[in-house]
Structure 1
Amino acid sequence: MSSRRFGSQSLARLLGRWQQSPSRIPLWRQLADALRLLILDGRLALDTRLPGERELALTLDVSRTTISSALAHLRDDGYLESRHGSGSRVILPDSRTLPTLSNASAALDLSTAALGAGPEIHQAYTHSLTAITQHLTQTGYDQLGLPALRDAIAARYTARGLPTRAEEVMVVNGAVSGLALVLRMLTGPGDRVVVDHPTYPLAIAAIQGASCRPVGVSLPPTGWDSDGFAATLAQTAPRLAYLMPDFHNPTGRCMDVSTRQAITAVAARSRTTLVVDETMVDLWFDAPPPPPLAAFCPNGNVITLGSAGKSFWGGLRLGWVRAPARTIATLAQTRDTLDLGSPLLEQLATLWLFDNSDTFLPARRQMLRERRDGCAALLREHFPDWRFQMPEGGLSFWIELPDMLATQLAARADVAGIHLGTGTRFGLSGAFDRYLRMPFSLEPAELENALLRLKPLWLGISKSGQSLKRTLV
């Protein structure tokens, strides 16, 4: 299989402000660290072929010697493979596994916004091991999901103001799997898909993986830009729009009722299907979110995605799709080409968790609220020049830095054993290099340790930037 070639301009956008000037770190090493970060983040996919040295030198405005030294360093460390006449191809060292979020556990991880399992997860699986015996005489293949679980999911939507029947629910293997299934059903290569900007990185990956073109609608300082959303739909004629209105990832904001009404009205007029990701819907702090977007759109052009991953545990790889019964039937036919259904044990565990959620979700929300407040206090004390708003729910802060320094900071932090989620992971074409997503889901002592180790790295970068500005003035 031939490697995918990455254009020099695209690579430059992904690199962002990678140069640290003035700095004691050689320029070639700065470039090597920035490229390695892109590889470990997954933004430079395995088997990607980089532009030639001369082309990169011209695009990045550095000497060819700098490029050669950086690429040679990455080759020596096992991140690139070069062949005469074929350029350099992205690989990983033999001692490393694929760059997934789970690898971050080996270091201080400030890139993953998720919680570990509580005691209820063990209880749920213990119960499901007993409950599965009555299903063992059957094949276990079910494209739609366990009827009792679909009933429970439908009841939850009905309680939130969206009347739902079991035939309007399909159980899938996580919200991203549901999005990929919807994309497979509704889109074709080259189709446009409107997204919030910033948005969830795996949603961008799923859209691009379906050979579609994500089109961003910038989020204003607060709320959503419904007029900008309407204009984008009119100008681009997308096949669908992907939104995360409930404690949006990464900003943590929640869409109010009037905006939900405006967004669904715009989508209905343009006959654009809305795909609404409710992954964070249970993680509210002060008040539950308004009714689902589908409750404001009676004509049925809203497909809702849910997940057990954030509400209960990330290792519980189970989600669902809520849509009109006709759409669910079509999705089931589309699914035949992908898999044969979702694991029964996980479905039984999720059903138990739904039935018992009132006994542990309130404490989970309270814990997250306390961790949010503790993290905010640490950020204000140690990083007073970082700006952020208190999220209304979810698992993380969206932090604005004083300058486009996220990639530089992440590259230095990664060398020091701290993984950061740069804003560029959440944007298109390298956008948001002045932002970080900072989770507050870690244990308080672990979070404080990570931030204290990060502080001198930030001070070094910010002082360098201030010195450069004074020199330019």
Structure 2
Amino acid sequence: MSGLVRGPQLARLLGQWHALPGRRRSPDYLALAGAVRGLLADGRLPLGVRLPAERDLAESLKVSRTTIAAAYRELRDSGHLNSRRGAGSWTRLPGGHRVASSGLWTPIDDLDMIDLGCAALAAPAELAPAAQAAAADLTRYLGGAGYHPTGIIELRDAIAAGYTARGLPTSAEQIMVTSGTQQALDLVLRLALPPGGHALVESPTYPNALAALAARRARITTHGLATDGPGWDTDLLLGSLRQTRPRVAYLIPEFQNPTGHLMPVALRERVVAAAHAADTDLVVDESFVDLPLDGTPVPPPVGAFDRHSRVVSIGGMSKPYWGGLRIGWVRASAPQVQRLAAVRVGVDMSSPVLDQLVAVRLLADADRIVTARRRQLAGQRDALLAALAEALPEWRVTVPRGGLTLWAELDGPVSSALARAAEEVGVRLAPGPRFGLDGTLERFLRLPFALPAADLVDAVRRIASVRYDLDARRPHWREPAVIA
């Protein structure tokens, strides 16, 4: 969404704005202004877009124009709207706020904030020595221009060896190094998905993948995941591929973000066959593949079942190592890699050589580093689960077998309201609707366990305090009546 949001579009985003917490105490215009601020807070309504004219929104919401005018005035007074007479009103942030990594707007002076909006670990102790050693390695590259569009050969060899060890024979010619996994996805979509093309994604899914698809103006179809069991419904997923025949399908088969599901072997084979029959390219995000917990065996890569160059795998260093090391990669056929390199020169020339040399050093010590990360994450996950069971026993959480996140089903559709309230007590959350397309998933919340156990326990205590405060302010959530 960019430029202008029209009345019917904003009405769909607002949904049942009358039912927001505190609605019974607030006039219509205050409830509407609060709902718009909520859309801005969780990223569903972008900054810098022009809101509908008062008459247009009044007709779409079936309220008076006076109510809309008063709501817009309230938003201007709180710093969330900038209006010019005769030109319109644009969304903005109030002074002293910024957009955080989670996409939520937050005060600048948030030094005591516990950030549960970001599923990423702090750097391992081995990173600094690896960087020092890489600086010495850099000498042999200084005589050249420093441009390596597909990556330096040492790193491509190391990445290829990792795929081969997992059961997918790979050569360096099938690897392109990128500046992070997000760039890998962007480049693949530039090559495989024409503007306005059709894409299939899981729901819920990674928000930045949705942003990359939006940049291509993609028409997106979703396949819903279950909260428990294997997650993917085989018949529904394969049926979606056959019926919609998307140009691209984006999947996260290993410890899916945000649900933590692990795709079974049988489905991996069948989804590749269905994609080939539907003339669909599978973009497989393997960001979390190195993080199985509790000894969980990881199935062979989806690409191991590919016989027709339908699978393009992407991955990177951000999750098992450190997000500040901007190293990602694409694994595809050698001709596809060359086409991706040609696309890349319109974006950037190559990834930094020094970062690549650091990655080579870390991958050489991967067994020790990643094994320690898994032990760390298992302990932090268990601490988070225990804290939730004690403080919020009504929430349902499936224990993930790997990755970095829990996907919690709440005791009411209050995810966005809870995220706004949690900011007030120093906890940043990514509410469920950020992981979907249409403002649904309000009963869900992603909770990463990347922080130290003490911080996670403290965060849950703070969340619980504001969760029960919401109960005091909102109408009781009732089961819908059955009408026969």
Residues 1:284 and 2:292 aligned together: yes
Residues 1:207 and 2:239 aligned together: no
Compared with structure 1, are the counterparts of its residues 353 and 197 closer, same or farther at alpha carbon in structure 2 (3 Å cutoff)?
A: same
Deviation for aligned residue 1:387: 0.9
User: Gaps spanning 5+ residues in structure 2: where?
Assistant: none
Determine the structure 1 residue equivalent to 2:51: 50
**C-alpha distance in 1, partners of 2:25/2:456?**
29
Aligned partner letter, 1:7: R
**C-alpha distance in 1, partners of 2:354/2:71?**
48
Determine the structure 1 residue equivalent to 2:236: 228
Contact 1:28/1:70 (8 A) holds in 2? yes
Q: Once structures 1 and 2 are overlaid, which stretch shifts more, 347-356 or 286-295? A: 286-295
Determine the structure 2 residue equivalent to 1:392: 401
**C-alpha distance in 1, partners of 2:263/2:73?**
48
Contact 1:171/1:321 (8 A) holds in 2? yes
User: Gaps spanning 5+ residues in structure 1: where?
Assistant: none
Determine the structure 2 residue equivalent to 1:455: 464
Contact 1:114/1:310 (8 A) holds in 2? yes
Q: Deviations over 1:218-246 (max 9, x none)?
A: 11343212221222222222111000000
Q: Deviations over 1:74-126 (max 9, x none)?
A: 32343321112232112234533444349877423222111111211212211
Q: Report the TM-score when normalising by structure 1.
A: 0.93
Compared with structure 1, are the counterparts of its residues 45 and 141 closer, same or farther at alpha carbon in structure 2 (3 Å cutoff)?
A: same
Deviation for aligned residue 1:10: 3.1
Q: Identity over aligned residues, as a percent?
A: 43
Compared with structure 1, are the counterparts of its residues 426 and 471 closer, same or farther at alpha carbon in structure 2 (3 Å cutoff)?
A: closer
Deviation for aligned residue 1:450: 1.9
Query: Counterparts of 1:331-346 in structure 2 under 5 Å?
Result: 331-346=340-355
Determine the structure 2 residue equivalent to 1:198: 204
Deviation for aligned residue 1:421: 0.9
**C-alpha distance in 2, partners of 1:31/1:450?**
30
Compared with structure 1, are the counterparts of its residues 390 and 4 closer, same or farther at alpha carbon in structure 2 (3 Å cutoff)?
A: same
Determine the structure 1 residue equivalent to 2:246: 238
Compared with structure 1, are the counterparts of its residues 217 and 336 closer, same or farther at alpha carbon in structure 2 (3 Å cutoff)?
A: same
Determine the structure 2 residue equivalent to 1:314: 323
Compared with structure 1, are the counterparts of its residues 79 and 121 closer, same or farther at alpha carbon in structure 2 (3 Å cutoff)?
A: farther
Compared with structure 1, are the counterparts of its residues 98 and 409 closer, same or farther at alpha carbon in structure 2 (3 Å cutoff)?
A: closer
Contact 1:33/1:411 (8 A) holds in 2? no
**C-alpha distance in 2, partners of 1:153/1:313?**
17
Deviation for aligned residue 1:464: 4.8
> Deviating runs (4+, > 6 A) in structure 1?
102-105, 470-473
Determine the structure 2 residue equivalent to 1:442: 451
Q: Deviations over 1:114-139 (max 9, x none)?
A: 11112112122112111112211111
Contact 2:327/2:355 (8 A) holds in 1? yes
Query: How large is the Cα RMSD of the aligned pairs?
Result: 2.5
Deviation for aligned residue 1:271: 2.3
**Structure 1 residue matching 2:249: 3-state secondary structure:** strand
**Structure 2 residue matching 1:158: 3-state secondary structure:** helix
Residues 1:363 and 2:363 aligned together: no
**Structure 2 residue matching 1:48: 3-state secondary structure:** coil
**C-alpha distance in 2, partners of 1:127/1:12?**
56
Compared with structure 1, are the counterparts of its residues 142 and 453 closer, same or farther at alpha carbon in structure 2 (3 Å cutoff)?
A: same
**C-alpha distance in 2, partners of 1:384/1:58?**
43
Deviation for aligned residue 1:372: 0.8
Deviation for aligned residue 1:147: 0.3
Q: Once structures 1 and 2 are overlaid, which stretch shifts more, 182-191 or 165-174? A: 182-191
Q: Once structures 1 and 2 are overlaid, which stretch shifts more, 74-83 or 206-215? A: 74-83
Contact 2:101/2:117 (8 A) holds in 1? no
Residues 1:168 and 2:167 aligned together: no
Determine the structure 1 residue equivalent to 2:259: 251
Aligned partner letter, 2:196: G
Aligned length: 472
Residues 1:266 and 2:299 aligned together: no
Residues 1:11 and 2:19 aligned together: no
Deviation for aligned residue 1:316: 0.9
Q: Report the TM-score when normalising by structure 2.
A: 0.91
